[in-house]
Amino acid sequence: MASVASKNMWLRRQQCPCGDWKCYVTYEGDAEETYIVSQIVKTESLQSQDMVAPYVGMVFKTDDDAFEYYGNFARKNGFSIRKERSRLSPQLGIYKRDFVCYRSGFAPARKKLSGEHHRDRKSVRCGCDAKMYLSKEVIDGVSQWFVVQFSNVHNHELLEDDQVRLLPAYRKINEADQERILLLSKAGFPIHRIVKVLELEKGIQGGQLPFLERDVRNFVQNRKKVVQENDALLNEKRENDTMELLEACKATKEADQDFVYDFTVDQNDKVENIAWSYGVAVNSYALFGDVVYFDTTYRSITYDMLFGAWFGIDNNGQPIFFGCVLLQDESLRSFAWAIQTLIRFMKGRCPQTILSDLDPRLRDAITSELPSTKHVTSIWNILPKVSSWFSLQLGSQYADFKSEFDALYRLESTEDFELRWNQMVSIFGLGSDKHITLLYSLRTSWVLSYVRVHFLARMATTAYSKSVDAFLKGIFGVQSCLRGFFEQVGIAANLQNERHQEIQCQYMHMKTCLPIEEHSRQILTPFAFNALQQELIVSMQYAASEMANGSYLVRHFRKIDGESLVIWIPEDEQIHCSCKEFESSGILCRHALRVFIDKNYFQLPEKYFLSRWRRESSLMFYDDHSVHDKDDEWFQEFQSLTETLFAESSITKERSDYIRRELTKELTRLLNEVRDMPENDGAPMDFTLTPTD
């Protein structure tokens, strides 16, 4: 295994499955999960098919392939193997390999010096003759290894599956587990507790790890000296690389005055925390800083620093990078500084809502620094913990529990949630469980019926979570020093801005032919329009019944219960629905739209087109130094011609095929001609791209 100091690893930060919030540790989640899955698949594949026993004449590309194959065969048949002899020639290099049973040969007699006492250990070697000998041949310039001898005759008992895994050859601690063990040991965990944590994380029964407790103990003891040496190297590397990062920030500031950064130093004047953001991010925040997600998923074990990133969502539903921070620890003080720095970068503007994980110190920092901001715990940060907390405890009942938990999360009524939550706790016998108690105490920050009264801008969705995760993986996919990491963040932020521009230019098709739809298409971005359009389409399946007080009960035509109450105030053209969709996302719900349609509205009131979802709020048009002409006559003419062309061509298949064929040819011709024109003819030109419908 490479030493800890030799590589920069960013690991996913998770709560210790033991449930102790003080036991915050980190692990490389993806790598561990991949390892577990791959081991399961590999084992199942061996058990589900009969392996062909090696035979004389069997061919392998390399001797390593042969050793792996023979090793798999040996494990399946109750023994292990080792490499015995090899022979070398100047022309072929190693050209012969001998692989033998682990009990082959006999242990040499140990000579005891007078006065020395050695513990007599019985050798497992008993002269077993099971073996596989290989010879290398070069055919047409390609090396191949042939089996020249094979014997599967053993003079000892072969082991069962539950015994063979305990042989030293198979008791290997993989690299991800080694890193995890070192982290837990450094945090003060005793060996038996480290083993228990690994079993909990992998969701396996006690004693089923691919290694023993004594293997963990031996590994920790052997690595203590190495760890101590690495710590000294790491401290020096951290100091040097942190200073380089600070110099990179200073240089960027000199080149770009809109770039902002800040840092703190400890009592020894060494850089402690550092944060930075870009001018375009500050401008983005001015438009879309109403909801912020603070991600603290990753931590560097090389630099022992937590990485935090601030994200928002633009009017096209895409994540916006607002800035990031590197923190030396996860204390209340560090989190408070990170939040203060963000607000200072963003010129004192606080978000309406902030999303984060369950970290109690982060929660306290948000409460302290953002007293007027609603704190929401994102569901995608809770679900992995639900699995680790309850899957092993509930066993076969976990699937039913998870199904009920998901249903509870989506309930629209807080009263229904309270009732069904108590029922769930009783059914699964979780009344005294501390994790259930924790989730219930925080219910107002994560249960949909509680949080949807606060503006979330459609950020609390799986799609948004995946987009953020993809952005972060793009940053951490490259292993480098802190300065290289700083540059990678800048590259990722720039690529994100380019994608925002590509997404903006989309054609929005009409699907209902309602005047409300046509009017909305002229105002909203494609993302917001598609969301409203979907609600419009579904609203056709709802019926509205007017009540004596002027309010409406709106229900689906197939559902007897589950109606929504829509309050209509005609004097101010105000509408309020009990589902709270508009309060949560800024997009009118199907229930409110049903009432507007019944009242013969051809256009929605302006107040229901939030500025953050309007096309003129797009980042690609945001510029403090210029005023764009949004009524460009050329674009309006082009738009009209395009709409007419698509309308006429959609009448018959023959027209549609013709347009597709000829339009592609013509557009390709025009594009080639434009590319052949000079890029600069000396005449200044103000070319402003206008968003399409």
pTM value is 0.61
- Cα–Cα distance for residue pair 645/641, rounded to 1 Å: 6
CA distances from 575 to 285, 561, 563, 590 (A): 29, 22, 16, 12
Distance CA(298)–CA(360), nearest Å, equals: 17
The CATH number given to 256-377+445-493 is: 3.30.420
What pLDDT is attached to residue 261?
95
**Distance separating alpha carbons of residues 491 and 474, to the nearest angstrom:** 10
Instruction: Of 262, 273, 322, give the one whose Cα is nearest residue 295.
Output: 322
Find all residues with CB under 8 Å of 514, minimum gap 6, and list them: 536, 597
pLDDT in tens, 308-333: 999 999 998 999 999 999 999 999 99
How many angstroms separate the CA atoms of 419 and 657, rounded? 58
State which residues of the chain have pLDDT below 70.
Answer: 1-50, 110-121, 226-228, 230, 477-480, 497-507, 560-561, 618-636, 639, 679-693
Cβ within 8 Å of residue 313, ≥6 positions away: 288, 291, 319, 320, 457, 458, 459, 464
Question: CA torsion angle for 118, 124, 126, 129 (degrees, to 10)?
Answer: -140
Q: How far is CA 296 from CA 12, 27, 355, 372, in A?
A: 9, 13, 11, 22
CA distance linking residue 287 with residue 500, whole number of Å? 14
CA distances in angstroms from 355 to 24, 284, 313, 580, listed in the order given: 20, 18, 12, 19
Beta bridge partners of 313: 319
pLDDT at 24: 37
Task: Indicate the domain borders of the chain.
Answer: 56-104+123-163, 170-254, 256-377+445-493, 513-611
Residue type, 63: D
Label the pairing between strands 291-300 and 542-546: unpaired
Sheet containing 542-546: order of strands: 542-546, 552-556, 564-569, 574-577
Pick the closest to residue 66 from 149, 174, 155 (CA basis).
Answer: 149
* Whole-number Cα distances in Å, 440 to 424, 436, 437, 575, 576: 12, 6, 5, 32, 28
